[in-house]
Structures are given as structure tokens and as C-alpha cells.
Amino acid sequence: MSQEQIVTRFPPSPTGYLHIGSTRTALFNWLFTRQKHGKFILRIEDTDRARSTDDATQAILKSMEWLGLDWDEGPYFQSERYDIYNAMVDLLLLTGQAYHCHCSPDELDQRRKDAQARGLKPKYDGKCRDLGLGPALGSVVRLKAPASGITQFHDIIKGPIRFNNEELDDLILRRSDGSPTYHLAVVADDINLGINYVIRGDDHVNNTPRQIQIYNAIEATVPRYAHVPMILGPDRARLSKRHGAMSVLAYRDMGYLPNALLNSLARLGWSYGDQERFTKEELIEKFSLENVGKSAGVFNPEKMLDLNAHYIRESSDEFLADKLIPFLEQSGFADLDKTMVKKTVTTLKARSKTLVDMAEGAAFYFQDDISYEQKGDEKFLKPDMLDLFEQLERRIEPISIFNQMSLEKMFASFMEENQIKLKKIAQPLRVALTGKTASPGIFELMEVLGKDRVLERIQKAVNHIRKKS
């Protein structure tokens, strides 16, 4: 007999952008499914029509695509699946597992207050449970949940979990406006789509017994559950924006690489020995739900930034050039030559933590007219540099193969003739060529700029010094 195919789902609500916690849940589902050669389904839970937006839906899809978390089916939209939900409610009514409740919100509120006053749990008291009522204006449909006994399940991460049924009440399946409740829609969808593993945040643990009761009422197979621990900020408080927990697309726009984000999220609550860095392929190969810890993971933005710098250093120049071009275009540079971008990447990747850093560092290569930082201008572009700069111009002019090797050779004889060390000329020349006091190595940046631009910028510095004098 062939083993049953594993089917998982990621069901974000499009009431906001995709954030770190939800993305980690998506990643764990995706890794588990890819490792087991299963099916990963994307479902958009958009039944909250007032708060769901198309912008948020598009942002979720873009985030998943940017991270490379591809899905095998979907996206399914709950707002388009009401027939499935109504069919399940009707079946539960037909089999006596659900009933119409005519209690008004005011009545329910009063009875809850009365129960609290008597020291009882403020849950629905089952008034309409056995009255055999039909539908009516303002009525809801409730599940006829077991009133005693226990509902239990074995969580792959947390182990055995049990709830006393008397703590739960007859939850509403269909509201008075005909819309399904969250629990009903989730279970109906999971049954319809064949979901057999539910991997989600542990804030859903208390939802699980209610959903299991719906499975049992419909006589459907209950999926296996794995509730992953929440993510905390460095101060061990619940993760929020003040900890740097922004949307996935915000990290993209800040110049992070997808791999840095995926690697950071995978390590929040999951471990594989002492290994810190993983390729996507290694994550798929090594991931297991059994190695997800029970305690919360702590999100460390600095660690993620360091990881991003590592991935930038390790990435190919070709890959980084493709990623960098949109950032350069955003800075106002157009008609970029990819070969030139690739050369600039070579000089900058060791010193850039993000693609935004790299784009800022690369700007001088593409500017038609650079401006000098005040401090560098005052300190290095002085009259005593005029003669040296003019000598350099004369020496650079005849060089036919303009590369680091030929430049180093020319500089060696230039410095010997003038009885100076490299630091005497390197920093003033750096300011003349880049406008800044910090940049890639002087010979490598000169090679990337090319002979014509180097001569043009030295001449500009000469004119600038004369003007100042």
C-alpha cells in the first residue's frame, strides 16, 4: 500500500501584510511538505470583507514569490467558497449534529453576566439545543458539541493535549447574516482540500478542540497537528514592530536577500546541531517538526543583518547585479549597463550589509557629476596636490590596458620618482574619484570607472582646488 501524500496549507488573512510570525509558519509548512514530496496549498482567508483588501492579498502573494515559497495549489479564496461551507452546515443540521439558535445577542449577553455573577463560566447555556427550532430571522446555527468527556490530540511538537468538553460550548457555525464562522470555514476547507497536516502558531492551540469536534461531528479524519512556538523580541516580549519585525516586503525594500530572511526564520525555534547557516536545499533536507522546540524563538535583527552580509559576500556577482539594478534605478540611474553593475558589485560585496548599502556605495560609479564630502574636501583636496594630480594625468593618458595590474605598476614608479608613500596620494585621489573618504580599493575602483572617467574626475579635482585657492 502506498503511503498517503502529505498535504499542508498556509492560510493568511489579507487584513494586513505578511509579517515575520506568519512567514515562519509558511516556511515550516513549505519545508516539511517539500521534504516529504507532498502538496503545499495557499488559501486566502478573506471572509472578513470589511478588513480584507486586494492590496494585502497582492502583498502576500508577492512576499511568498520573493521568498521562493512556491505553492502547488491555489490561491483559494474563502470568499468564493460559501457553497462548501453551507453544504457542511446543512449536513450537520440534517444529521442532528447542529441546531438553529434563536437567542438574541442581548439575551446572550444578559445570561453570560448572570453566569459570571454566580461564579460560572460565561458560555452559551444550550437553551435552544433540544428545542428542534427551524431557521428564523436573526437566528444562528450552532454545533451540538459533546457536553462531557474530553477532546484530546497528540501535537507533534507539544505532545499530548487534552481539553474538558464542559469547558467548551456549542460554538456558532453560521452567523445570523448567513456567513460562516472561522472554525467552520477552516474545517470545511481543510476537509475539502484534503489537508492532513496542520502546522500553525501555538496561539491556535485553543482553537484545535473546537475544530476537532466539527471533524468528529462530520465523521471526517482529524489531521495531525503541530503548533509552533511564538516568536519573541530580544527583550522576550511578544514580537512587534519596535523589535524590527516588519513586513516581508519591507525587508525586501531594505535590501535583504530572501535567503537571509528564510535562514533567520528557520532558526527561530528549530535547530540542527550547531549549524547556523543553511542553503534552501539543506533546509529542505534537514528540517523536521520533531526538532522544533517547545519554547519561543527570539528574533534578533542584528543577527539577521550579519547573516545578510554573509549571503551578499557568498553570492555570485551575476546574481547580485540583477538584485542591485532595481535599487540603483530607484536612486535615479537609468539605462544601466549590467556588465558595469557586475564590476561594481565585485568591489562592494565585501563591505555591504544590504543591497541598499551597496546601491549607496555604488552611486559614485554611475554619477555624471560627483560632489565632495566637506570633510574630505577640506582635508585632502589641497593646493599641494595639484602637481601630483597633474603628473598622474600625464602618466594615465598613455596606458592602453587599464587594469589593476597596470595601475599598480604605474603607481610604483610614480611614487618612487616623487619619493612619496601610497597614503600621500591614495586618500586625496579617492576623494577626487568618489567624493568620499571611504570606498573600495583605489586600483580596483579605478579599473571599474575606466580611464576616461578617471581622467575626467582628476581634472575636475584640479579645477576645484584651483578655484578654492
CATH number of 374-468: 1.10.10.350
Q: pLDDT for 415-443, tens place per residue? A: 999 999 998 999 999 999 999 999 999 99
HEC-encoded secondary structure of the chain: CCCCCCEEEECCCCCCCCEHHHHHHHHHHHHHHHHCCCEEEEEECCCCCCCCCHHHHHHHHHHHHHHCCCCCEEEEEHHHCHHHHHHHHHHHHHCCCEEEECCCHHHHHHHHHHHHHCCCCCCCCCCCCCCCCCCCCCCEEEECCCCCCEEEEEECCCEEEEEEHHHCCCCEEECCCCCECHHHHHHHHHHHCCCCEEEEEHHHHHHHHHHHHHHHHHCCCCCEEEEECCEECCCCCECCHHHCCCEHHHHHHCCCCHHHHHHHHHCCCECCCCCCCCCHHHHHHHCCHHHECCCCEECCHHHHHHHHHHHHHHCCHHHHHHHHHHHHHHCCCCCCCHHHHHHHHHHHHHHCCCHHHHHHHHHHHHCCCCCCCHHHHHHHCCHHHHHHHHHHHHHHCCCCCCCHHHHHHHHHHHHHHHCCCHHHHHHHHHHHHHCCCCCCCHHHHHHHHCHHHHHHHHHHHHHHHHHHC
C-alpha cell at 78: 474563502
Average pLDDT of the chain is: 95
How far apart CA 213 and CA 192 sit, in angstroms, is 17
Which residues are within 8 A (CB) of 30 and not within 5 positions of it... i.e. 6 or more apart? Answer: 8, 10, 40, 69
Model pLDDT, residue 394: 96
Q: pLDDT for 115-160, tens place per residue? A: 889 988 889 999 999 999 999 999 999 999 999 999 999 999 999 9
How far apart CA 213 and CA 142 sit, in angstroms, is 12
> φ, ψ for residue 296 (rounded to 5)?
-65, 145
Grid-cell match 514580537, residue found: 239
Q: pLDDT for 202-214, tens place per residue? A: 999 999 999 999 9
Q: pLDDT for 249-287, tens place per residue? A: 999 999 999 999 999 999 998 999 999 899 999 999 999
Model pLDDT, residue 121: 86
- Give the CATH number of domain 82-228; options: 3.40.50.1100, 3.20.20.70, 3.40.50.620, 3.90.79.10: 3.40.50.620
- Give the CATH number of domain 242-366; options: 3.40.50.150, 3.40.50.300, 3.40.50.620, 3.30.565.10: 3.40.50.620
* Annotated catalytic residue within 241, 338, 375, 409: 241
C-alpha cell at 127: 437553551
Which residues are within 8 A (CB) of 49 and not within 5 positions of it... i.e. 6 or more apart? Answer: 79
Please give the C-alpha separations between residue 446 and each of 145, 370, 397, 402, in angstroms, as whole numbers: 76, 15, 13, 9
C-alpha cell at 145: 458539541
C-alpha cell at 105: 445577542
Please give the C-alpha separations between residue 3 and each of 6, 37, 225, 357, in angstroms, as whole numbers: 9, 11, 18, 49
Measured from the Cβ of residue 33, the count of other Cβ atoms closer than 10 Å reads 24
Q: Is the pLDDT of residue 94 over 50?
A: yes
Q: Is the pLDDT of residue 323 over 80?
A: yes
ω before 160 within 30° of 0 (cis)?
A: no
- In this structure, of 4-18, 204-218, 225-239, 245-259, the range with the lowest mean pLDDT score is 225-239
Q: Is the pLDDT of residue 32 over 90?
A: yes
- Backbone Cα Rg of the chain: 32
C-alpha cell at 97: 449534529
The candidate with the shortest Cα–Cα distance to 305, out of 265, 350, 264, is 264
User: 226 falls in which pLDDT band (50, 70, 90)?
Assistant: very high
Model pLDDT, residue 2: 52
User: 238 falls in which pLDDT band (50, 70, 90)?
Assistant: confident
Helices 442-449, 451-468: inter-axial angle, 10-degree rounding: 110
C-alpha cell at 104: 438574541
Q: What's the chain's length in residues?
A: 469
Model pLDDT, residue 194: 98
How far apart CA 389 and CA 292 sit, in angstroms, is 62
**Chain centre distance of CA 365:** 31
Helices 442-449, 422-434: inter-axial angle, 10-degree rounding: 40
How far apart CA 449 and CA 454 sit, in angstroms, is 6
User: 1 falls in which pLDDT band (50, 70, 90)?
Assistant: very low
pTM of the model: 0.91
Portions of the chain given CATH number 1.10.10.350: 374-468
The candidate with the shortest Cα–Cα distance to 17, out of 50, 57, 47, 66, is 57
Model pLDDT, residue 245: 67
| 62 a catalytic residue | no
Q: What percent of the chain has pLDDT over 70?
A: 98
Portions of the chain given CATH number 3.40.50.620: 82-228, 242-366
Query: With contact defined as beta carbons under 8 Å apart, do 391 and 397 qualify?
Result: no
Please give the C-alpha separations between residue 380 and each of 82, 101, 220, 396, 423, in angstroms, as whole numbers: 72, 84, 78, 21, 11
Which residues are within 8 A (CB) of 251 and not within 5 positions of it... i.e. 6 or more apart? Answer: 261
